[in-house]
Amino acid sequence: MDGFGAGRNNILAMSNKDKQSDGVVAMEKIVSLCKRRGFIFQSAEIYGGLNGCWDYGPLGVELKRNLKDYWWRRNVQERDDIVGLDGSILTHQDVLKASGHVGGFSDPMSDCLLSKARLRSDQIPAQSGTAYWYSGASHEESGWSVEREFAVLLSEGENENKARKTARQFYAQFLKNGQISPKTLELAGERSEQVIDSIRFNPENGSLLTEPKDFNLMFETRIGASADEDDANAVAYLRPETAQSIFVQYKNVMDSNRVKLPFGIAQIGKAFRNEINPRNYTFRSREFEQMEIEYFCHPKDGLELTDYWLKQRLSFYEEVGLDRDKLHVLAIPDGERAHYSSKTYDIEYDFPFGQQEL
């Protein structure tokens, strides 16, 4: 790479860091304001807090109720082609088997070998640098030793002693004698290699991560006081989204309301996902509320109606005060859409922490 290119990349990197820093400051101010004014509180805060769960205070609950009421009025009460539904939160396992959620609703997860933190494998940024590998550690005076592979990734310019310090901290976890200092451990089998765009290391501390494994995002429970733990038929789930009850009640809605295609079914309600890393305040939670419309039509009208509803959603967001310049429409290409989809749009918003799906 020539000097100009390298300089340009450095400027871009600094710009991205500045944006991230500004976003962190903005989020801190939002969180502080929401608590101070009684909009949102951390759930069970006096007991240390329940991660990924939030309680809406006096002003927060009124704001949320106003938004839900306005959404319902605009999308259900003021239209002749949409009816409402309020489905149960507890969901029959066969419903979620049919939808593909049982066995398929998961995120890849990796554990940090040093801190034990859990990370979503598909959200780990690619990193380059020098990886220092070790085969184990020992303590000569006590005769203690352990054989276990570990590695630490260092960025360009970082001192290799940092990798050794991190490795000693890792191997010290296996010491039974708390009187032995990690500093006195002898590392074995040190070797180094250059890695490019690796996602095998924790960006927070450089520690090696475990291989990704699927993590089920659904909350499972058992129905009935006499349900045996081995009784597979007693299993139910807290719904991971509001769509399923709309689909399974489709025929009942049609028969009881005498509606004809095209028509929609709307629902507002709680959904639950056991997120690996809840983050960004209320924007990535384990318990959240959805406002959803499933609109049914003849296949030949599907593409045209998709574009119609895209315009409707953008118009609604502007009605409630969102800046149109901060809304971005992404057309999902072939190969990335769900298997049943002929056309999909994502609407993303410029949050303080970056552009993400709304």
| CA–CA separation, 153 and 57 (whole Å) | 44
- Residue recorded with tokens 């290119």: 5
Q: How confident is the model at residue 217 (pLDDT cuts 50, 70, 90)?
A: confident
| CA–CA separation, 49 and 319 (whole Å) | 35
Answer whether 57's CB lies under 8 Å from 64's CB: no
| CA–CA separation, 296 and 218 (whole Å) | 27
* Per-residue model confidence as pLDDT tens digits over 84-118: 999 999 999 999 988 888 877 778 889 999 999 88
What are the φ/ψ torsions at residue 48 (nearest 5 degrees)? Answer: 100, -10
* Per-residue model confidence as pLDDT tens digits over 36-79: 999 999 999 999 999 999 999 999 999 999 999 999 999 999 99
* Per-residue model confidence as pLDDT tens digits over 270-282: 999 988 778 888 9
| CA–CA separation, 65 and 224 (whole Å) | 33
Residues 6+ apart with CB under 8 A from 335: none
Cα R_g (the chain), whole angstroms: 26
The whole-number average pLDDT for the span 320-348 is 90
Q: How confident is the model at residue 189 (pLDDT cuts 50, 70, 90)?
A: very high
H helices of 200-301, in order, are 243-248, 250-257
Q: Which of 195, 191, 173, 190 lies closest to 182 in space, CA to CA?
A: 173
Q: Which two tokens stand for residue 68?
A: 């839900």
The whole-number average pLDDT for the span 133-153 is 93
| CA–CA separation, 12 and 6 (whole Å) | 10
Q: What is the pLDDT of residue 24?
A: 67
Q: How confident is the model at residue 22 (pLDDT cuts 50, 70, 90)?
A: low
The conformational region for residue 100 under phi > 0 = left, psi -120 to 50 = alpha, else beta, is left
The whole-number average pLDDT for the span 155-169 is 94
What are the φ/ψ torsions at residue 125 (nearest 5 degrees)? Answer: -70, 145
CB count in 10 Å sphere of residue 6: 10
Positive or negative CA dihedral for 252, 255, 256, 257?
A: positive
SS3 helix, strand, coil % of the chain, rounded to 5? Answer: 35, 30, 35
Over 90: is that where the pLDDT of 336 sits? no
**Residue 52 burial (10 A CB sphere; 0-12, 13-18, 19+):** buried
Q: Roughly how many angstroms between the first and final C-alpha of the chain, as a whole number?
A: 38
Query: Is the entire prediction scored with pTM above 0.85?
Result: no
